[in-house]
Amino acid sequence: MFICPVCGEKLIESQHCYSCANAHLFDKAKKGYVNLLLGRDGSLHGDSKEMALARYEIMEAGFYAPLKDAVVRALGQTLQNPAVIADCGCGECYYTSAVQAAFPQAQVLATDISKEALGVAKRRGGTLQKAVASSFSLPIASESCDAALNLFSPFVREEYARILKPGGILLMVIPLEDHLWELKKAVYETPYKNEPKQAERVDYRKRLQQPWICELFAMTPYAIKSSPEDSQKLSALTELEVTFSFRIFIYKKGE
């Protein structure tokens, strides 16, 4: 279901590469993804390897399992097998892999700007079709997807509208105002809350010890934006109870 970023023709997958009818060839990396970024987009790298590894460890520890289960449940209530599902901005494929396991007959596509994140995703196994790509120019055929996921990633309305079939489902997750509030208070002198939204809520609290406190911070954008002095404040904490708070939105194309 991937298309050639050069000419727009359908890409055919073989053991070691993807190719189109116009003989454009894209090799698969040893870690299982294909790089479909072109031109200046190739300089964009997204999450670093350190951030992707921290996110992988946090996810494997189960801190985001309630949200994962809620996403799968919401899809199950609106989607029928078989289906084509695209997770755009998939990171290290924690949610994508769960969706694949829940919908084994579905064709699941995973795209992310970070080749490092998709490299880490190989640890999850499975048969996901993974591509390094920008959400601003998705290498996915128009009106080919029954569902698309947007989980904490850049939302490009026009691209989601293009790739979804008529009646296709967009599932979006955003953090709410209290998400990771305690973590931010431990780091910043004047922390800010996220903007509240209206939709299905997923709220829970987890008591974290080290090294999970620092790992959780390392997987977030806060780690990039914070000074070393602010980041080091977390190292002094032995325990922290943290709020996890999200909204799940379901949109249907054409409604």
Q: What is the pLDDT of residue 40?
A: 52
pLDDT along the chain (255 residues), means of 10: 95 94 96 86 70 94 95 91 92 96 94 95 91 96 97 92 94 84 74 55 94 92 84 90 93 84
- Pair (200, 154) in one structural domain: no
Q: Are residues 96 and 197 in the same domain?
A: no
Read off the pLDDT of residues 73-84 as tens digits, 9 standing for 90 and up: 999 998 877 799
148 closest CA partner among 119, 185, 115, 108:
108
The predicted structure's pLDDT at residue 197: 45
Whole-number pLDDT of residue 109: 97
In a domain, 122, yes or no: yes
Give the model's pLDDT for residue 200. Answer: 78
What pLDDT shows up at residue 192? 58
Tell me whether residue 186 is in a domain: yes
Number of domains composing the chain:
2
* Full-model pTM: 0.86
Q: Token digits for 167?
A: 């009646």
pLDDT, residue 199, reads 60
Residue 60: per-residue pLDDT: 95
Closest of 100, 90, 28 to residue 55, by C-alpha: 90
Handedness of CA 176, 47, 253, 106 (dihedral sign): negative
Q: What is the pLDDT of residue 189?
A: 67
- CATH number for the domain that contains residue 66: 3.40.50.150
The whole-angstrom separation of Cα 85 and Cα 216 is 28
Domain that holds residue 220: 181-245
Answer yes or no: is 77 within a domain: yes
Please give the structure tokens belonging to residue 148.
């698309």
Peptide bond into 211 cis (omega under 30): yes
